[in-house]
Amino acid sequence: MDRGIAEKLLALNRKFYATFARPFAASRPVSDPALTSILPYIPQRARVLDVGCGNGRLARLLDRERPGVTYLGVDAVPALVGVARAQVTRLTAISAEFRVADVAQPGWVGSLTDASFDCAVALAILHHIPGFDLRAQVLRDVTSVVALDGCVVLSTWQFLDSARMRRKIVDWGEAGIAEGALDPGDYLLDWKREGKGLRYCHLVDGAEVGRLAAESGLCVREIFRAGGREGNLSLFAVLDRNIGTG
């Protein structure tokens, strides 16, 4: 994908999440099955990196279910990080920190080079990263700070599998972007809660997850579906470090 188009798509999503940070955060509860379903893959007292942490709801869940965890959440949107940081004093059973970091930009992982995580979680973020090469780079960056015996847990939104979600798809003309400049599987979806917004999403299916894992020195341990009213709107993948290539 052309870098200029990729930057436009990234800017579109940054604007969306900055504008709708609070109503979006309110729509993502800790009790969401798309969040609680990953608990079995997070060890007790683990060091956890939460990539695209949003409102920090995973930290709240871990505080309740995984006492002793050391947690770092990173997100590109300062407004969302602000929402997350506001709750730190209410976290009593884990050590938690939140930082602003844009994983789509080169060098973001540099500040984590002295860190090693048992588990990295990347929920609902890769489908907002334009272009396969950039998605693969983000996953490689994440993998680089995961211990050799650690894992990466990611999820991607399967919005085409729901008639309800398909109704959110709008023409690219609304964002002033020519459809011919985009990759197959790129979509523009609207949001109508407390105003109207637009988000870029790419359909990252199971086949692409496999290719991304191979590009990042990861092995697919398990794939499953959970989340949404339908119970299957997110595709989850549990990926292990491939020591032979790592």
Q: Is residue 174 part of a domain?
A: no
Strands in 169-170's sheet, in edge-to-edge order, are 169-170, 186-191, 197-202
> Around Cβ 64, how many Cβ atoms within 10 Å?
14
Q: Which CATH number goes with the domain that contains 29?
A: 3.40.50.150
Q: Is residue 143 part of a domain?
A: yes
Q: Is residue 215 part of a domain?
A: yes
171-230: pLDDT as tens digits: 999 999 999 999 999 999 999 888 899 999 999 999 999 999 999 999 999 999 998 778
- What is the number of domains present in the chain? 1
Q: Is residue 210 part of a domain?
A: yes
Let me know: does 201 contact 159? Beta carbons within 8 Å: yes
Q: Domain range holding 37? A: 3-162+203-241
Gap between the Cα atoms of 18 and 230, Å rounded: 28
Q: Is residue 39 part of a domain?
A: yes
Q: Is residue 178 part of a domain?
A: no
61-109: pLDDT as tens digits: 999 999 999 999 999 999 889 989 998 889 999 999 999 999 999 999 9
Q: In sequence order, what E strands does the chain have?
A: 47-51, 70-75, 95-100, 117-123, 146-157, 169-170, 186-191, 197-202, 218-226, 234-241
